[in-house]
Amino acid sequence: MSAISPLPSFKDLHISLQAGLPDLRTTVEQCLANIDQQKHLNAFVRIYAEEALAHAATIQQKAQNTHAGRLAGLIVGIKDMLCYKDHPLQASSKILEGFISQINATTVERLIHEDALIIGHQNCDEFGMGSSTENSIFGPVRNAINTSKVAGGSSGGSAVAVQAHMCHVALGTDTGGSVRQPAAFCGLIGLRPTYGRNSRYGMVAHASSFDTIGILANSIYDCAAVLEVIAGPDAYDSTTSQHPVDKYTTQLDFTKKTRVAYLKEAIDYTGLQPEIRSNTLETIETLKATGHHVEGVTLPLWEYILPTYYVLTAAEASSNLARFDGVRYGYRDPDAKHVTEAYIKTRTKGFGKEVQRRILLGNFVLTSSHYDDDFIQAQKVRRLITDSLKAMLSSYDFIILPTIPHTAFDLDCNTHDPMSMYWADIYTTLAAIAGVPAISIPIGYDDEGLPIGLQIIGNSFQEASLLGFSKHILEAMKA
């Protein structure tokens, strides 16, 4: 990465742009050069170079006339699960081959409205199903720090694009950790907002009661600036909340003393990498030294978090993916001789192995003989876990735990062992089950120089304090 030209920060670029100083086209060209120079990382599946350069000129002119939006100068990549009008969308799957989006996702529309510049779609695990971005029709994404390592998933392309200075910020999707986990692997900030904080309109659905659009960035400020724009109610998505959107960028100075809990089960987990444990404990001591009250707590039903998540998300995924049949759009098998054969062959050839596995598991869970014992019971356990977590958050301001039990692993080392991949989500699925906001921040490196992430969980719709506290921790760790 030493040969790659770092981007000017969005904050500095935005201020300069308002003063009429920089040429935004130069920064776009810098991004495009970084993308081209690092094609081997496989972060992008489609790049909109000519379009981005044209938009840069328009935004530059608006800035000179003092009409530019709040995000003028911000160069954004979007995961290949978010609709961008008149552009292809595949969810990194063969089954959506040839599909052109007729709409903008609401989050994308809001970015464009405030003069953010979309530079391309980014690689991901097929339909957001994976923890390494190796389940993609476009091939795996490589970590820019060590190209023999994975980038994390499912928003791995989005993470690497920010990590490798191909864009300022990326929008990813987080169902059970797909923004936070690659953020940890790549040394970034990864924010999953409260469920309902952002609209899901125009996002390819994986598991609808878990899916959230999140933000990957190099700075807390960039996360805050983007969240201010994309958050809020949406008439196209009835699950969005009417809760007011804070002015997040003005609330990042965190001075109060807090009550913080860390999960003992997470720290004591036998599969936790020693360097991650030691870095997490060091952060805990730093918080204590700066005047915060920090203590270990036990979360009831800890051992049921991961199975509950996979039972429910597989069931929802099998229902959501039933619409992809080759009849109305996307790939259709050319050799099928009748309708039934067309369905079977299209879905067999169009879906990858991991997606097929989860569809089959979801169908099994939803069968009449297993619906009560598996799906309904998992829903009940989800409620118990949520209640326990929210009760904890009524006594503590924040909960901290590692983002993931290990740093980035080797490419292809877990592709034939699905359970190893699933266990990678043991820490991130908790916030997803409860629908509360969570963020991953970088707190150090392991012995191989790979980033370590700390996860912080906050109360619903308290993203302002979550962002401010995260910035406070990062500054305290540097002091």
Query: Which residues are known to be catalytic?
Result: 79, 154, 178
Given the DSSP bridges, would you call strands 398-402 and 259-263 parallel, antiparallel or unpaired?
parallel
* CB burial string 17-37: b at 16+ within 10 A, e below: beeeebebbebbebbbebbee
Partner residues linked to 401 by β-bridges: 455
Q: Residue 179 in contact with residue 429, Cβ under 8 Å?
A: no
- Give the dihedral sign, CA 366/370/371/374: negative
